[in-house]
Amino acid sequence: MKPALYLFLIILVLNNASQAEYLSAFTGYHQGEHQYLKDISSQQGLMLGAQLDYRHWRHKEQGWFARGPVVTLQQAPNMLFMNGQFPLYQWNKHQGSWLEVSWGQQNLETQLTQAQIFMGNDGQPTSLTAGSTISSTRQFQRAQIYWYESTRFADALNIAGLSYSQELTPVMSEISNTNASVFDGTFSGSGAMVGRIKDKRGFNFQWRLNVASLESDFSNDITQHRSLSKGESSVYKFSLGLSWHYRYYLRPYWYLVPQLEYNISYIFQRQLQPLEVEHKSFVYRQVQSWISLRRYF
């Protein structure tokens, strides 16, 4: 059974014992472009998912754990994404602090236009011939603590917080002490986040901006590039997510919600003229559109 179906069954069980704001199931289309190598890896296909939203359920007016969680699961061919948002402390009716945890994984296939040499953390170089297709995995995880203000969703900005993220993916770089060009890449570090959550009847626009300072690791156990130049092994990451949806009333407690989402991220070196470690900007783009059926309680 698919993970999305597992979550939907869990939602149905929880609903019998709780008072969730809403539960939903959705289906749509996912397309992603991963450009951390010279060649672009594309991914697309049908997406399924489910969401349980207790965000506005009030266990109590204020204090610790005064609201309910939000749990989301999305699944497409060679892609799985999970997100949980958990209440920490509610200062008053409309303002509180939250913890958000995200995890995603993608299986990528890239056809090489030029021959490359891959060097992993095992220290064994592997020749990759032009025209060959390589399979790899991109994994992303992030934890965020943020403030959220929910009064009628009126403000253009109503969430702000701090984050820590880690991304594992194959990358292409030039390192002065090796002739390899493709490595096991890791980016990890902290940053800040601002954005807007809006979900009312009718049209809604949401956005989220993340800016982070990250340390890069390109098979560093073998290449030791961080010893060559720590400054050239540091990067900035800029991520922007935009989302539009329309909450269409069907009948009491039932809504139909079409949604479009666009995400883009850039990773670029802090130093503009590197000597020991040099790589181009790494870009990831994602477009998703889906339609969900919500049941409110």
pLDDT at 14: 47
For residue 171, is pLDDT > 90?
yes
pLDDT band at 20 (very low <50, low <70, confident <90, very high): very low
* pLDDT for residue 18: 42
Mean pLDDT on 259-286: 93
Domains of the chain: 57-66+88-296 (2.40.128)
SS3 content of the chain, % helix, strand, coil (to 5): 10, 65, 25
pLDDT band for position 60 (50/70/90)? confident
Residue 215's pLDDT band (boundaries 50, 70, 90)?
very high
Q: What does the pLDDT look like over 84-100, one tens digit per residue?
A: 999 999 998 889 999 99
Average pLDDT, the chain: 89
For residue 219 the two structure tokens come to: 């098979």
Model confidence band, residue 153 (pLDDT cutoffs 50, 70, 90): low
Bigger pLDDT: 86 vs 56: 86
Q: How far apart are CA 21 and CA 17, in angstroms?
A: 13
Span 251-260, pLDDT tens digits: 999 999 999 9
Q: What's the pLDDT score for residue 257?
A: 97
With vertex at residue 74, the alpha carbon angle to CA 256 and CA 292, rounded to the nearest 5 degrees, is 5
What's the CA gap between 73 and 2, in Å, rounded? 11
CB–CB of 233/216 below 8 Å? yes
Burial of 127 (0-12, 13-18, 19+ CB in 10 A): exposed
pLDDT above 90: residue 287:
yes
Specify the pTM. Answer: 0.87
Query: In the prediction, which pLDDT does 246 show?
Result: 97
- The residue assigned the tokens 């010893």 is 227
Residue 291 has pLDDT above 90, yes or no: yes
pLDDT exceeds 60 at position 5? no
237 phi and psi angles, rounded to 5 deg: -125, 130
134 against 255, higher pLDDT:
255
| Least confidently predicted of 17-31, 74-88, 117-131 | 17-31
